[in-house]
């Protein structure tokens, strides 16, 4: 028995040592496992943050595309998106028919239809993009502020959720707003000068004068004024009427836009086009239907 006792003690000591070693191993394993899980979680969160930031950059670029497309579509139609309620010829509206005016609210038309295009881009991103509902233009700073009805959200199953503000301010080219003001100025000058003319010949001379004066005024802005008067639609030289096609064209930077009539994507100039039917003798404007644009 005396020989067995030391062996039992040694066995107990060895077992205890083994248990301690196993405990250390298990503890290290658990710590390492926890660190691995934490590292994986942190890595996924970082990936999620990068995805959200990438989406924000994508939205920033989408603003530029949306603005260019909406500007091209609406300016080409004289400031209107939908011409179903306006008198028009070949998708060009009549801004004035003798004493009847029909001026567009270009800024409202632009923001409304730009939002239609812009919101469609959000569906292609890897984050949940809320619906953008409002655009505010700052012409002095060449900026626009876009407001949404929620936040950007990226969700990794039940692992984590990242939310970020969706509202942002974007520096943009707002030359089209200035071009619209030039278009209104041109229309006002034509209206007063042609209405004050005593004959068709005098009215033609006034269109040339308006074109030259306003063209020189905005020459430095790379804006071209093109005025094309029709033949005399009245019954005589003094009892005249003429339909004037006005084009305010940006000869500066072209924009990559899609033309729905030509069904092609190309670099194109932005231009406003509208008619004015003016003179001494009342005549009916020539009109036809214009197909709607569907985004």
Q: Taken in order 284, 197, 190, 261, is the CA torsion positive or negative?
A: positive
pLDDT of residue 18: 47
pLDDT at 17 over 50: no
pLDDT digits (tens, 9 = 90+) for 159-202: 788 898 999 999 999 999 999 999 999 999 999 999 999 999 99
More confident call, 20 vs 90? 90
Contact residues for 269 (Cβ-Cβ < 8 A; gap 6+): 249, 250, 251, 254, 255
pLDDT digits (tens, 9 = 90+) for 82-117: 998 899 999 999 999 999 999 999 999 999 999 999
The fraction of the chain above a pLDDT of 70, given in percent, is: 85
Task: For residue 119, give the 3-state DSSP assignment.
Answer: helix
Q: What is the DSSP string of 223-260?
A: EEEEEEE----SSSSSS-EEEEEEEEEE-S--EEEEET
Domains of the chain: 92-104+174-279 (3.30.1300)
């Amino acid at each position: 028995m005396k020989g067995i006792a030391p062996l039992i003690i040694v066995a107990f000591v060895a077992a205890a040592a083994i248990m301690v070693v196993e405990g250390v191993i298990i503890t290290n394993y658990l710590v390492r496992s926890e660190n691995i899980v934490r590292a994986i979680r942190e890595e996924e969160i970082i990936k999620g943050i990068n995805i959200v930031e990438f989406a924000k950059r994508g939205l920033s670029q989408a603003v530029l595309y949306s603005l260019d497309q909406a500007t091209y579509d609406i300016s080409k139609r004289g400031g209107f998106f939908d011409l179903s309620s306006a008198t028009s010829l070949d998708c060009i509206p009549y801004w004035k028919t003798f004493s009847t005016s029909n001026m567009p609210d270009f800024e409202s038309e632009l923001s409304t239809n730009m939002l239609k295009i812009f919101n469609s881009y959000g569906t292609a991103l890897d984050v949940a993009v809320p619906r953008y509902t409002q655009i505010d233009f700052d012409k002095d700073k060449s900026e626009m502020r876009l407001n949404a009805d929620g936040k950007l959200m990226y969700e990794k199953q039940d692992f984590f959720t990242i939310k970020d503000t969706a509202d942002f301010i974007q520096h943009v080219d707002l030359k089209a707003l200035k071009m619209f003001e030039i278009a209104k100025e041109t229309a006002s000058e034509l209206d007063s000068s042609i209405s004050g003319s005593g004959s068709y010949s005098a009215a033609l001379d006034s269109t040339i004068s308006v074109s030259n004066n306003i063209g020189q005024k905005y020459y430095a802005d790379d804006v071209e004024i093109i005025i094309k008067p029709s033949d005399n639609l009245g019954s005589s030289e003094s009892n005249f009427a003429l339909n004037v096609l006005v084009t305010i064209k940006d000869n500066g930077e072209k924009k990559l836009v899609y033309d729905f009539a030509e069904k092609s994507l190309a670099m194109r100039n932005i231009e406003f086009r509208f008619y004015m039917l003016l003179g001494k003798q009342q005549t009916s404007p020539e009109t036809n239907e214009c197909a709607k644009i569907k985004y």
